[in-house]
Amino acid sequence: MFGPFRITNPLSGGLLWKIPWRLSPTQKARQRKRLRAVDQVIETVTNALAKKGETLKSLDRWKAEMPTEAEMLPRDKYTMFDRKAKRYRKGIHKLPKWTRVSQRINPPGF
Amino acid sequence: MSYFRITLHRSAIGLPKRTRGVLAALGLHRRGQLVFHPVSAQFAGMIMKVKELVRVDEVDRPLTRREVYVERRPEPGFWVESARGAFQQGQEGGQQVGGGEEGEVRL
């Protein structure tokens, strides 16, 4: 009845592994914090290189393509495009390693 | 000459080998580790590869091991916030009550 191998619905065969379809408010707050942390790194590197007068292709490309946390829409912060999902959106927490990868932009129109 | 002060904040467990290789090239092997590298496009590019995992500051000079140790060492002693009243009234019960920061009292 108790212990690690008790019979629960997820363990007794079948596919019943419940992941909530949306993020909780605290998960969303932490997601915003992580986005801002990456923005901070980008800003620091930009300022440091600007002082030395050097340029970096990957940095220029990031700044041209990626919006900052403040510029992003809530739907892009917490959800992402999925061609198989109803209305073409799924929670960003379905993305593998989602707390350690940058997923900011989605196909236009979706 | 300025330096990047790079701290590994998030672990690279389960991330691609390339990412872990970049961390190893930066000299970051464990979480919380601190390294200094000169500001240059080369190191900036490496930081860009692992920007989700690190915290970066720009500093004038790299800290020595001793300075890092001193910076990380917690302050000695302890803070008693309830002693605020005692501080305002002066010394009570033979305790030495010294002033700390605003809003805090240090015994």
Domain that holds residue A30: 25-94
Query: Is residue B68 assigned to a domain?
Result: yes
- pLDDT at residue number B77: 87
Task: Determine the Cα angle at A49 with ends A32 and A65, to 5°.
Answer: 45
pTM of the model: 0.79
| Minimal-distance CA residue of chain B relative to A34 | B52
What is the complex's ipTM, to 2 decimals? 0.82
Per-residue pLDDT tens over the stretch B42-71: 999 999 999 999 999 999 999 999 999 999
Give B60-100 pLDDT, tens digit per residue. Answer: 999 999 999 999 999 888 888 776 666 566 544 444 444 44
For residue A32, tell me if it sits in a domain.
Answer: yes
Owning domain of residue B11:
3-72
Contact list in A for residue B51 (CB cut-off 8 A) is: 38, 41-42, 45, 102
Give a yes or no: residue A50 inside a domain: yes
Q: What is the CATH number of the domain that holds B57?
A: 3.30.1390.20
For chain A, the average pLDDT equals 91
Question: For chain A, how many structural domains are there in total?
Answer: 1
Which of A52, A59, A100 is the closest to B52 by Cβ? A100
Identify the CA nearest to A47 among candidates B23, B71, B44.
B44
Nearest alpha carbon to residue A75 among A84, A67, B22: A67
Contacts of A100 in chain B (CB under 8 A): 10, 12, 15, 52-53
What pLDDT digit, counting tens, does each position of B11-37 carry? 999 999 999 999 999 999 999 999 999
Question: Minimal CA–CA distance to A64: which of A104, A27, A7?
Answer: A104
Q: How many domains does chain B have?
A: 1
Helix ranges (DSSP H) in B6-107:
17-26, 41-49, 65-72, 84-89
